[in-house]
Structure 1
Amino acid sequence: MTDNTPALKITILGGGIAGLTTALALTKHAPSTSPCPEITLYEIRPEPATIGGAVNLTPNALRLLSHLGALQEIRSFDYGADCSAVEVFDLYTGNKLAESSFRGKDGKGLGDPPFKALRITRGEALEGVLAAIEKHSNIKLICGKKTVDIKEDDSGVDITFSDGETAHSDILIGCDGIHSVTRLKHVEPSRKSVYSGICNAFGFAPRRMTSSSDQAYEETHFEISGMNFGRQGILLTSFHNSAKDSIYVGALMQMPEIASRDGWKAAGADAEKTRSDILKRYEGAALPLIKHVIEDAQDLYLWPVFTLSKGGKWATDRVMLIGDSAHAMPPQGESTGIVFEDGVLFARCLARWMEKSSGAPVKEAFDAYERLRRERIDIAFDESQSVVKTVQDAGWLGHKIKTNVIPWYLWWTKSYREKHFTEDVTTCELGY
């Protein structure tokens, strides 16, 4: 590209955190020798969805959010609870088995610059990213747009919406999640999501006060985040704000498949049935807090975990899939950071293509991104399968074996996990 080349027009389908951070990355890494790309995001909902559970933003995720200017916004709102480690407990004894630490050797965090982790609601994380988006005039977010058709040719990509309006751009990026219209209508229609066999039931419990006159909060066995292993799943109990007056409750558990999406919606809408099921699954807990947070959890929501098969097609000549639309997998502690890495690495590959000014097709940038990213995603996918096995129902003996293996496994994999937490896709070699 040359200085007199018009700005690259980019359409992003999906106004969630994947699409928004990808837009920030494309802006951040745009070469100074070319006009800044004109980016338009289309979101199917009438406004960006700020509902959801609480995610753990690992050091690599925080480093990238800082790089994109979004962490500064999150900090200015005082969102989230700083997390030095995720602690692991046996539900039936209350004993701490191990922890996955983000402290680093000197206690300041991992990577350069060092970061620990941040437990934050999805809604607050999204609000921070939206605040960063507002500072860039080249990025436009349009909500309430349902895509019904996608066509591409040598001139670009044309999208048709349900209201009859159309949009044309040079390239299209699908950041529209597990049920991606970009994938299902254009890139690989045969690659449909499948139910993983596990669900996450989550809500937020106001922290109880003690009965004493000093109005102190009920004591917790975890510092910030605790994973409580039971025979019928894992119960996550975690603070998600600096006041520590509310506890996020997330029950990751094995459940039979429900045939239709409407069936899942009906099951999710019955909060009291979900609560009763969780209480039964985690009965016998040594600590009263476990029962209390399940009883007190508000707006309980049932979220079936769907995944995609390993591999798959990520791109056509002018359309690229990013995040869950390309490689949705069961949660394995790094999912959000992986999505941010996707966006930044793709933005760098696209910027290199723009800098080369060779007239080569944009697919060259797509291919470079895939060469860099496929192996990392394949490894993460394989790791995610162990989560499914960990959550599966087990008898007394199976649980005993599991709780004995966990400390050894976390010790054995510590350096491996820290390697991922310190990786920096803002500076790695692109190789083209």
Structure 2
Amino acid sequence: MTITRIIIIGGGIAGVASALALTRLNKISCSIYEIRLEPSTIGGAINLTPNALRYLEHLGVLARLLPKGCEVRHIDVISQRTGQKLGAVNFDNLPKFKHRALRVLRADLLQALLESLEEEGVEVQYGRRIESTRELADRIEATFEDGTRVDGDVLLGCDGIHSSVRMKFVQADRKPIYSGIAVAYGLLDAAGLSERLQFNETAVHSGRFGSFLTSYCDAEKSRLYVGAVMETKDVGSREGWALKGKDQEVTKNEILRRFGGSSVPYIEGMVKKVDSFILYPVYKLPPGGQWTTKHIILLGDAAHAMPPQGESVGLALEDVVLFSRVVSQHETKPTTQIFADYEKLRKPRIDAAFKEANFRWETAKDRGWLMTVLLEWMTWIFIKWMNISKEKDFAFDVRDIKI
């Protein structure tokens, strides 16, 4: 069958990017429905890898996004214990990668995607909660809480890790798992810090009780994004929230207990300058799982959420570009065959990415003093191996896959 109409559930990055790709590149009519009343601003500043930037360029979004972010050549890894640089993750290979990385507010990325989508005459319909679906021989019907009913050839579940589409219509028992890690993040003005910074764009300060991320997040380097990645009990929130009053004070004190008083003096000054921290519990999905039914397919975090969150955005964009290509090449096949072709190409890479993300995320937990020292001695070896591995990964492009 030829796909001409697609229903998209979720107006975040995966949903809007899907609509943009399928409308702009495949000339398919798309309708987007989002449960929130307005675009989400939760998520802080994310690091878009060279792959992600190439996909955004492919979608016609990159030019409007670049002026809003800070180009990242390296992520420096610094020991909180000694203050010494342990190594750096390298993005500075333009001949192979075409772009370096970009640290940008998640809200700015979503806004750039929405502006590009508006040029195609597609708008997100907000405040729409999906209630039920009915899969027929040649189409799918979706009914919303307000009684509205729409139909299409395909329904994309792009509604994130806590996906209603996945849990209601695809695989009810595949539920998010709390990782044991939460990120407390905030923004501050770069001017006025008294201590000299030990990084040019971005740094991860590694210590016993987790890691402390610092990064410029605008082209002028006037704003700094900071994030304390630390082991905590499940704080019981799905999306993250701005801390108020006593909670704000308690969280700041806890960050200072874990990361202040180290051999990196500017961390303490940064924490004190943040007006308001947002606490974001990190969830992940069990690996594998079901992504499709006859007319439904999950993309992005709805299918394969994993930490770290910045790279999950890149994987979502990769989903979008690959799915667009598969639809274009196999548009006359049944939807079940199109979905199967996509999964065959996609799942091996996702499985590998999940294993790597899990391994790295475990280092954010309390390691004890002795293990911290031992890991610091080994970090330079790990980073050297990682840069070799990532050189191939950052050069990878789903547009080069034979379909």
TM-score (norm 2): 0.95
> Could you tell me which of 33, 39, 54 is aligned with 1:63?
54
2: CA distance, partners of 1:333 / 1:380: 13
**Residue number in structure 2 paired with 1:214:** none
**Residue number in structure 2 paired with 1:129:** 113
> Could you tell me which of 85, 88, 91 is aligned with 1:99?
88
1: CA distance, partners of 2:31 / 2:86: 48
Structure 1 or 2, whichever has the larger Rg, is 1
1:179 shift after superposition? 0.4
2: CA distance, partners of 1:179 / 1:395: 33
1:12 alignment partner, SS class: strand
1:298 shift after superposition? 2.5
Does structure 2 retain, via aligned residues, the 8 Å contact 1:50–1:127?
no
1:390 shift after superposition? 0.5
> Could you tell me which of 186, 193, 218 is aligned with 2:176?
193
CA 1:103–1:299 in structure 2 vs 1: closer, same or farther (change >3 Å)? same
2: CA distance, partners of 1:26 / 1:184: 25
Aligned amino acid, residue 20 of structure 2: L
Aligned amino acid, residue 61 of structure 1: A
Does structure 1 retain, via aligned residues, the 8 Å contact 2:73–2:92?
yes
1:16 aligns with 2:12: yes
Task: String of CA shifts for 1:80-123, please: whole Å, max 9, x gaps.
Answer: 1011011100012211110001112xxx3642xx1101000101
**Residue number in structure 2 paired with 1:405:** 378
CA 1:240–1:265 in structure 2 vs 1: closer, same or farther (change >3 Å)? closer
2: CA distance, partners of 1:264 / 1:207: 25
1:184 aligns with 2:167: yes
**Residue number in structure 2 paired with 1:33:** none
CA 1:194–1:377 in structure 2 vs 1: closer, same or farther (change >3 Å)? same
2:203 alignment partner, SS class: strand
1:157 shift after superposition? 1.5
Task: String of CA shifts for 1:20-51, please: whole Å, max 9, x gaps.
Answer: 11112223431xxxxx2110111111111133
Q: How does 1:275-290 map to 2 (within 5 A)?
A: 275-290=252-267
CA 1:362–1:404 in structure 2 vs 1: closer, same or farther (change >3 Å)? same
Aligned amino acid, residue 114 of structure 2: L
**Residue number in structure 2 paired with 1:296:** 273
CA 1:205–1:26 in structure 2 vs 1: closer, same or farther (change >3 Å)? same
CA 1:275–1:325 in structure 2 vs 1: closer, same or farther (change >3 Å)? same
Q: How does 1:167-182 map to 2 (within 5 A)?
A: 167-182=150-165
Aligned amino acid, residue 277 of structure 2: L
**Residue number in structure 2 paired with 1:366:** 339
1:37 aligns with 2:10: no
1: CA distance, partners of 2:74 / 2:96: 12
Does structure 2 retain, via aligned residues, the 8 Å contact 1:268–1:301?
no
CA 1:351–1:262 in structure 2 vs 1: closer, same or farther (change >3 Å)? closer
1:223 aligns with 2:200: yes
> Could you tell me which of 352, 374, 379 is aligned with 2:352?
379
Aligned amino acid, residue 426 of structure 1: R
Q: How does 1:409-420 map to 2 (within 5 A)?
A: 409-420=382-393
Does structure 2 retain, via aligned residues, the 8 Å contact 1:254–1:393?
yes
2: CA distance, partners of 1:229 / 1:398: 12
**Residue number in structure 1 paired with 2:103:** 119
Does structure 1 retain, via aligned residues, the 8 Å contact 2:183–2:230?
yes
1: CA distance, partners of 2:42 / 2:175: 25
Does structure 2 retain, via aligned residues, the 8 Å contact 1:73–1:129?
no
2: CA distance, partners of 1:39 / 1:332: 26
1:262 shift after superposition? 8.5
1:273 shift after superposition? 1.6
1: CA distance, partners of 2:185 / 2:234: 18
1: CA distance, partners of 2:282 / 2:106: 16
1:89 alignment partner, SS class: strand
1:142 aligns with 2:115: no
**Residue number in structure 1 paired with 2:398:** 425
Q: How does 1:72-83 map to 2 (within 5 A)?
A: 72-75=63-66, 78-83=67-72
Task: String of CA shifts for 1:174-220, please: whole Å, max 9, x gaps.
Answer: 01000001101100011111101111110012224267xxxxxx531
Q: How does 1:299-314 map to 2 (within 5 A)?
A: 299-314=276-291
Aligned amino acid, residue 387 of structure 1: R
1:134 alignment partner, SS class: helix
Does structure 2 retain, via aligned residues, the 8 Å contact 1:158–1:166?
yes
2: CA distance, partners of 1:238 / 1:187: 38
Aligned amino acid, residue 100 of structure 2: K
1:265 shift after superposition? 5.7
Identity fraction in percent: 39
Q: How does 1:204-243 map to 2 (within 5 A)?
A: 204-209=187-192, 218-243=195-220
**Residue number in structure 1 paired with 2:41:** 50
CA 1:333–1:413 in structure 2 vs 1: closer, same or farther (change >3 Å)? farther
1:317 alignment partner, SS class: coil
Aligned amino acid, residue 364 of structure 2: V
Task: String of CA shifts for 1:284-341, please: whole Å, max 9, x gaps.
Answer: 2213210011111122011111111010000001000001101111217632211111
Count matched residues.
Answer: 402
1:424 shift after superposition? 1.3
1:245 shift after superposition? 1.8
> Could you tell me which of 290, 306, 315 is aligned with 1:329?
306
**Residue number in structure 1 paired with 2:248:** 271
> Could you tell me which of 61, 77, 84 is aligned with 2:73?
84
